C-alpha cells in the first residue's frame, strides 16, 4: 500500500471514529427527548450516561486533568499540584485503543494489574490540527516511552519540560544546558543538589521548611549537608552565618554512567555532562554506522517499527543493507526542572511525537500533603495559576470566583422571576 493511500485510510478511520461519537450523542439525545414517561431511576441513569459520554469526549479531544505525583519538576511544579492539560494546543491525538473503561488509564480502578482497555480495535496514530507546535521550555505531558508492554496511549503519563525540539543540537556541560551551542534559558525555580558545609552547627528545620527545602539531609557529624536547592535558596543559605562552603554537586566530565542513554561506553556521558547530540526530525536523513547506532537503534526498531539486524557486512533494515536512515517522526528531549532527581530523556532517550499527550496550561488546585494544619493544606497562592516557562504565575482565582458568583446569582434571579410569573 502506498504512503498516500495509507495516510488517507488513517484519516478515514479517524473521521469515522469522530462521526460515530457524534452519532452516539445524537441518538442518545433523541432517545432522551422522545421518552416523556420516565421513572426517577431512568432519569438518573440517562443523566449519568450522558455525563460520562460528554466528559469522555471532552477529556479525549479538549482538556484533561492530571496530578503531580513526584518531585521531578520541583520547584516549578509541586507534588500535590492538580493541573489541566490542553489537548488542542498541539492537536488532540485520536485514541489508539478506543475500547476502554471510562476515566481509567491503563488499569481498572482499585486494581493493580487488571487492564482497563481492549486491543480488539486499534487505530493508527493520527493527530488532529492544533493551535501550535511544541516549543522549547514548554511543560509537556507524554506517555513514558519505555513501556513497550502497553499500547502507546496507555503507557504511563509523565510530565517534564521539553528542552529540545526536532533538529536541535543539545549538550549539557557541568549541569548547564546548551541548545544549538547557546546557553538555554533556565527556569527560575530549577533545582540542583548542593553540598553545604557548616561550621558544625545545624540548620534550623523551621527555616528550611519556610524556604520550602524539602529534599536533602545531613550527611556527617562535621556539618556536611546535601540539599536540593533553587538558585535563590542557594544564595540565601550561602549568606547564613554558619555556612562555610556551598557548591553544586556536579558529576565530573568524562565519567561514564552506565545508566545514561544511549548506554554506550564509548560515550562517557553522565547527568551533568551529556552529549552533544542532534534530536531527530521527521524527513531528515542521517548516516548510519555502528558508532551512532546506539543513539538511533530504538527509534528505528521500536518507535518506527522496522526490522533491524547487525551483521558482519553491516546494518540491515528490513533485510536491506543500510548506510543511512530517514526518520518518519519528530522526536523531543525532556528534562525535569529538579535536575538531580528526575528520570528523563538523559536516562531513556527521545520521546516520539506519537507519545505526546498535551501541554500543561494551568494549576487549578494545590495540596500540601506534609501540612499538619487543615487551613494550610491548600496552597492558596497556587490555585488557578497559569503554567509558564518559569513555573506558575498569574493567579486568576479572583476572576473565576467573580464569574462563578455572577452565574450563580443570575440563575437564582431567573428562577425567582419565573416563580413569580407562575404565581
Count up the domains in the chain and report the number. Answer: 2
Asked whether residue 227 falls in the same domain as residue 161, the answer is no
Q: Say if 23 falls within a structural domain.
A: no
CA-to-CA separations, 254 to 181, 234, 241, in angstroms, rounded: 19, 27, 36
Please state whether beta strands 81-86 and 63-67 pair in parallel, antiparallel, or not at all (unpaired): antiparallel
In this structure, the answer to whether residues 339 and 422 fall within a common structural domain is yes
Please report the pLDDT score of residue 8 as a whole number: 55
Euclidean distance between CA atoms 382 and 365, whole angstroms:
7
Q: Are residues 140 and 228 in the same domain?
A: no
Distances from the Cα of 342 to the Cαs of 138, 192, 346, 423, in angstroms? 17, 11, 9, 65
Distance of CA 184 to CAs 175, 187, 309, 326, 353, Å?
Answer: 11, 10, 37, 28, 22
Out of 199, 220, 248, a domain closes at 248
E strand or H helix that includes residue 104: none
Task: Find the farthest-apart pair of alpha carbons in the chain and give their distance in angstroms, rounded.
Answer: 93
Q: What is the pLDDT of residue 29?
A: 59
Query: Does one domain contain both 83 and 163?
Result: yes
Taking the C-alpha atoms of residue 342 and residue 73, their distance in angstroms, rounded to an integer, is 8
- CATH at residue 208: 3.30.70.80
Residues 390, 339 within the same domain: yes
Mark residue 391 as left, alpha or beta (left: phi above 0; alpha: psi -120 to 50; beta: remaining): left
Q: Does the residue 229 lie in any domain?
A: yes
Q: Are residues 141 and 235 in the same domain?
A: no
Same-domain pairing of 196 and 163: no
| Residue-number span of the structural domain to which 76 is assigned | 64-93+128-168+333-423
Phi–psi pair at 381, nearest 5 degrees: -70, -10
In a domain? residue 154 = yes
The pLDDT, as a whole number, for residue 322 is: 97
**Do the beta carbons of residue 286 and residue 325 sit within 8 Å?**
yes
Measured in whole angstroms, the distance separating CA 45 from the mean position of its chain's CA atoms is: 35
Helix (H, G, I), strand (E, B) or coil at 55: helix
From 202, 231, 248, give the residue that closes a domain: 248
CATH of the domain at 372: 2.10.109.10
Position 270 in a domain: no
Digits of tens for pLDDT over the chain (423 positions)? 455 555 555 555 555 556 556 656 665 555 555 555 667 787 787 778 778 888 888 899 999 999 999 999 999 999 999 999 999 999 999 999 999 998 899 999 999 899 999 999 999 999 999 999 999 999 999 999 999 999 999 999 999 999 999 999 999 999 999 999 999 999 999 999 999 999 999 999 899 988 999 999 999 999 999 999 999 999 999 999 999 999 999 999 999 999 999 999 999 999 999 999 999 999 999 999 999 999 999 999 999 999 999 999 999 999 999 999 999 999 999 999 999 999 999 999 999 999 999 999 999 999 998 887 777 899 988 998 999 877 777 777 777 777 778 887 877 877 777 777 766
292 within some domain: no
Residue that finishes a domain, picked among 248, 272, 292: 248
User: How deeply is 140 buried, as exposed, middle or buried, from its count of CB atoms within 10 A (0-12, 13-18, 19+)?
Assistant: buried
In a domain, 362, yes or no: yes
Same domain for 379 and 348: yes
Query: What is the end-to-end Cα distance of the chain in Å, rounded?
Result: 71
Q: Within this chain, do residues 160 and 202 fall inside the same structural domain, yes or no?
A: no
Q: Is 32 part of a structural domain of the chain?
A: no
Write down the pTM of the prediction: 0.87
Q: Is residue 185 part of a domain?
A: no
- In this structure, the answer to whether residues 383 and 341 fall within a common structural domain is yes
| Sign of the CA dihedral running 72, 75, 81, 83 | negative
Same domain, 147 and 223: no
Q: What are phi and psi of 124, to 5 degrees?
A: -60, 155
Amino acid at each position: 500500500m502506498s504512503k498516500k493511500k495509507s495516510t488517507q485510510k488513517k484519516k478515514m478511520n479517524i473521521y469515522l471514529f469522530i462521526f460515530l461519537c457524534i452519532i452516539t450523542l445524537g441518538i442518545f439525545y433523541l432517545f432522551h427527548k422522545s421518552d416523556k414517561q420516565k421513572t426517577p431511576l431512568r432519569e438518573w441513569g440517562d443523566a449519568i450516561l450522558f455525563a460520562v459520554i460528554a466528559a469522555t469526549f471532552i477529556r479525549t479531544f479538549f482538556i484533561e486533568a492530571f496530578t503531580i505525583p513526584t518531585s521531578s519538576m520541583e520547584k516549578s511544579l509541586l507534588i500535590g499540584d492538580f493541573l489541566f492539560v490542553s489537548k488542542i494546543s498541539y492537536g488532540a491525538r485520536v485514541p489508539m485503543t478506543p475500547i476502554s473503561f471510562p476515566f481509567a488509564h491503563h488499569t481498572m480502578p482499585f486494581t493493580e494489574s487488571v487492564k482497563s482497555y481492549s486491543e480488539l480495535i486499534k487505530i493508527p496514530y493520527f493527530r488532529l490540527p492544533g493551535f501550535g507546535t511544541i516549543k522549547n521550555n514548554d511543560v509537556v505531558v507524554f506517555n513514558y516511552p519505555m513501556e513497550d508492554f502497553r499500547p502507546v496511549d496507555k503507557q504511563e503519563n509523565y510530565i517534564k519540560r521539553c528542552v529540545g525540539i526536532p533538529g536541535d543540537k543539545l549538550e549539557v556541560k557541568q549541569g548547564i544546558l546548551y541548545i544549538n551551542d547557546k546557553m538555554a534559558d533556565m527556569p527560575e525555580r530549577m533545582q540542583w543538589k548542593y553540598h553545604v558545609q557548616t561550621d558544625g552547627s545545624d540548620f534550623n528545620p523551621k527555616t528550611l521548611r519556610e524556604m520550602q527545602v524539602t529534599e536533602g539531609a545531613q550527611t556527617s557529624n562535621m556539618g556536611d549537608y546535601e540539599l536540593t536547592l533553587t538558585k535563590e535558596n542557594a544564595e540565601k543559605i550561602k549568606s547564613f552565618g554558619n555556612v562555610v562552603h556551598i557548591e553544586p554537586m556536579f558529576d565530573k566530565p568524562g565519567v561514564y554512567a552506565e545508566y545514561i542513554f544511549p548506554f554506550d561506553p564509548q560515550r562517557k556521558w553522565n547527568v551533568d555532562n551529556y552529549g552533544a547530540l542532534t534530536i531527530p526530525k521527521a524527513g531528515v536523513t542521517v548516516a548510519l554506522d555502528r558508532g551512532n547506532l546506539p543513539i538511533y537503534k530504538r527509534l528505528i526498531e521500536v518507535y518506527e517499527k522496522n526490522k533491524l539486524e547487525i551483521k558482519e557486512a553491516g546494518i540491515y533494515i528490513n533485510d536491506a543493507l543500510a548506510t543511512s536512515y530517514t526518520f518518519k517522526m519528530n522526536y523531543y528531549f525532556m528534562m525535569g526542572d529538579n535536575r538531580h532527581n528526575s528520570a528523563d530523556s538523559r536516562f531513556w532517550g527521545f520521546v516520539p511525537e506519537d507519545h505526546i499527550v498535551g501541554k500543561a496550561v494551568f494549576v487549578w488546585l494545590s495540596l500540601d500533603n506534609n501540612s499538619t494544619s487543615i487551613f494550610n493544606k491548600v496552597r492558596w497562592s497556587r490555585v488557578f495559576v497559569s503554567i509558564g516557562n518559569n513555573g506558575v504565575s498569574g493567579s486568576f482565582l479572583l476572576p473565576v470566583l467573580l464569574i462563578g458568583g455572577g452565574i450563580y446569582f443570575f440563575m437564582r434571579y431567573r428562577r425567582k422571576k419565573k416563580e413569580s410569573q407562575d404565581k
